[in-house]
């Protein structure tokens, strides 16, 4: 009967998405009762937003007890930092792209302290996910952590981030369609455990974006929808207690590509292209996915910054061995040849893989 017990699920207590939200960080922290903060900035981000963050905290009488600039994510360094943080700190604040967020999220997890995530770009769903992407023995690993206590997304900052971050976010979001399909298929073969609620949340949030018809990726409306959908997927992973709602065959290809290539692109860029290929194999929502990737300019971007075709083909072949006991569409051997054939002949793949 164990499987039928109700489980407690952590949901972020602070969830803010809007313009100029960085100016309100101090207010939100004070309202939540935090007084002593450790701040972690990604490299280059303090120069852009440090003054605003410090002013917002100081205006509310919040003490900045510790400050770090993060340009790497080696797990040994995360552990060292965690134990060097003064005992008076009662909240950790990560501000920036992926690195500062992953680093400070895991620090907070080690110390069992609340973590507030302030992404200044949204290139993947990590800013609200219950895991951290860290380097273990120089290899990128996704490690279980705690879902953020708070997520504060400043859309003005997200809008000012480089275009590649938005395209990467689109790629990581669209992957939830193929991931969801893989999950369902694995469950139908009793090779995974399903969670209806997590599936509904994850699929609904992506469908909202798929049905969205205003493709101006720098409009605040589009960015709001993208951020909201990525955020809901982080929560879906927490509800499912698994990465299944957010990661399937397409993520396996991207992880395999990371392990092969010397020139990786952003996570969501690789995942987005792999999603296009896997949706073809699944014969599921292929046209909708293709249209979204065409109309948002994702493929145009990739055409200007193509991935390596031979390495990508190797990654497709390696993908099924990336995760043990993880059934996906690529677990069917014929589908590997079908995917390679598609990569060789599809007009879009011909332009985006060289
Ligand atoms: Zn991802």
User: CATH number of the domain that 131 lies in?
Assistant: 3.40.50.1970
Query: Is 293's pLDDT higher than 60?
Result: yes
Are residues 40 and 94 both part of a single domain?
yes
CATH of the domain at 194: 1.20.1090.10
- How far apart are alpha carbons 280 and 345 in whole angstroms? 13
As a whole number, mean pLDDT of residues 329-334 equals 97
Q: Ligand 1 mean position to 179 CA, how many Å?
A: 10
State in Å, rounded, how far the first CA of the chain is from the last one: 53
Q: Ligand 1 mean position to 63 CA, how many Å?
A: 34
Q: Ligand 1 mean position to 261 CA, how many Å?
A: 18
Q: Ligand 1 mean position to 275 CA, how many Å?
A: 11
Closest by CA to 129, choosing from 63, 71, 188, 198, is: 198
List the domain range (segments joined by +) for residue 89. Answer: 8-160
Of 160, 183, 216, the one marking the end of a domain is 160
Are residues 140 and 239 both part of a single domain?
no
203-197-296 Cα angle (round to 5): 15
Q: Ligand 1 mean position to 333 CA, how many Å?
A: 24
pLDDT confidence bin for 1, thresholds 50/70/90: very low
Q: Is the dihedral of CA 255, 257, 259, 263 positive or negative?
A: negative
Radius of gyration, CA atoms only, the chain: 20
pLDDT confidence bin for 208, thresholds 50/70/90: confident
Q: Ligand 1 mean position to 56 CA, how many Å?
A: 32
User: How many domains would you assign to the chain?
Assistant: 2
Structural domain contains residue 314: yes
Are residues 137 and 206 both part of a single domain?
no
Are residues 115 and 208 both part of a single domain?
no
87-101 per-residue burial string, b: 16 or more CB within 10 A, e: under 16: eebbbbbbbbbbbbb
Q: Ligand 1 mean position to 171 CA, how many Å?
A: 8
Structural domain contains residue 212: yes
pLDDT of 209 reads 83
DSSP secondary structure of 86-130: -TT--EEEEEESHHHHHHHHHHHHHHT--EEEEESS-SSGGGG-S
Q: Ligand 1 mean position to 178 CA, how many Å?
A: 12
Are residues 143 and 186 both part of a single domain?
no
Tens digits of residue pLDDT in 18-28: 999 999 999 99
Q: Which has the minimum average pLDDT: 97-101, 116-120, 155-159, 178-182?
A: 97-101
- How far apart are alpha carbons 199 and 181 in whole angstroms? 10
pTM, to two decimals: 0.93
Are residues 262 and 340 both part of a single domain?
yes
Of 145, 160, 175, the one marking the end of a domain is 160
Tens digits of residue pLDDT in 70-116: 999 999 999 999 999 999 999 999 999 889 999 999 999 999 999 99
For residue 6, the SS3 value is coil
Query: Is 190's pLDDT higher than 50?
Result: yes
pLDDT of 222 reads 93
Of 160, 193, 212, the one marking the end of a domain is 160
Structural domain contains residue 243: yes
Q: Ligand 1 mean position to 259 CA, how many Å?
A: 15
Q: Ligand 1 mean position to 60 CA, how many Å?
A: 36
Structural domain contains residue 56: yes
Structural domain contains residue 1: no
Q: Ligand 1 mean position to 2 CA, how many Å?
A: 30
């Amino acid at each position: 009967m164990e499987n039928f017990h109700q489980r407690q699920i952590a949901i972020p207590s602070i969830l803010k998405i809007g313009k100029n939200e960085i100016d309100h960080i101090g207010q939100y922290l004070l309202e939540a009762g935090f007084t002593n903060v450790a701040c972690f900035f990604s490299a280059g981000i303090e120069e852009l937003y440090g003054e605003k963050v410090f002013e917002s905290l100081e205006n509310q009488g919040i003490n900045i007890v510790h400050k770090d600039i993060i340009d790497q994510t080696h797990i040994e360094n995360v552990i060292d930092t965690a134990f060097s943080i003064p005992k008076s700190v009662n909240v950790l604040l990560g501000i920036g792209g992926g690195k500062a967020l992953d680093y400070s999220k895991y620090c907070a997890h080690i110390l069992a302290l609340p973590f507030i995530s302030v992404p200044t770009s949204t290139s993947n769903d990590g800013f609200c996910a219950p895991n951290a992407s860290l380097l273990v023995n120089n290899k990128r690993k996704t490690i279980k952590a705690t879902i953020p206590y708070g997520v504060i997304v400043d859309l003005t900052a997200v809008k000012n981030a480089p275009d590649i971050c938005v395209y990467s976010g689109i790629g990581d979001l669209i992957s939830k369609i193929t991931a969801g399909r893989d999950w369902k298929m694995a469950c139908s073969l009793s090779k995974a455990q399903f969670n209806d609620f997590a599936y509904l949340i994850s699929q609904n949030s992506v469908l909202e974006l798929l049905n969205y018809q205003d493709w101006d990726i720098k409009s605040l409306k589009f960015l709001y929808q993208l951020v909201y959908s990525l955020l809901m997927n982080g929560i879906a992973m927490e509800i499912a207690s698994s990465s299944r709602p957010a990661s399937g065959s397409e993520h396996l290809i991207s992880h395999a590509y990371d392990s092969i290539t010397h020139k990786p692109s952003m996570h969501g860029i690789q995942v987005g292209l792999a999603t296009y290929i896997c949706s073809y194999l699944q014969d599921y929502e292929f046209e909708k996915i293709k249209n979204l990737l065409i109309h948002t300019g994702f493929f145009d971007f990739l055409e200007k910054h193509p991935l390596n075709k031979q390495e990508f083909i190797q990654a497709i072949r390696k993908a099924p061995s990336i995760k043990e006991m993880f059934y996906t569409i690529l677990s069917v051997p014929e589908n590997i040849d079908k995917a390679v054939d598609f990569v060789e002949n599809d007009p879009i793949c011909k332009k985006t893989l060289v």
